[in-house]
Amino acid sequence: MFQQAKRLNKISLYLVQLAIVVFLIAGTCASLPKFHASNQLALGLHYAPFALVTLSIPFTLYCGFLLLRLNLLTARTFLSMVTVAMLLFLCGTYFGMAAWLGMPWVLKWAIAAFDKFLLSQTANLPHS
């Protein structure tokens, strides 16, 4: 299960990083006059980061639930992260998107800490 959580988190991170790159490209293209005439391209670039972050949400939630199941994340921490992200979505899509962008990183750090713990435990085992 831990390997599955690592894989899902990696997918979430790739989607989030791609959303950031698309957001930067969309902002650059929006400032160019030749893209002002093309409404469909502008709308597509505007909503593409939202779509990518939306695609990462199920992976992030599933990874978080796996980490909860493995007792690597406390329920209070996970619930507060999800609650804040949902409340920020009510304030505005950019705020909510920023909150969901950060969640895979927090889960990545929890996974990395457990990986480090596992490595330290296997290093202390007696060799036969």
Read off the amino acid at residue 25.
I
Q: Hey, CA dihedral for 47, 82, 91, 17, is it positive or negative?
A: negative
127 within a domain of the structure (yes/no): no
Tell me the residue range of the domain where 87 lies.
2-119
Q: Is position 125 within any domain?
A: no
Per-residue pLDDT of the chain (128 residues; tens, 9 = 90+): 788 888 999 999 999 999 999 988 887 877 777 776 767 777 777 788 889 988 999 999 999 998 898 888 889 989 998 999 889 888 888 888 888 888 899 899 989 988 888 888 877 777 65
- When divided into structural domains, the chain yields a total of 1
98 within domain boundaries: yes
44 part of a folded domain? yes
Query: How far is it, in rounded angstroms, from Cα 63 to Cα 55?
Result: 13
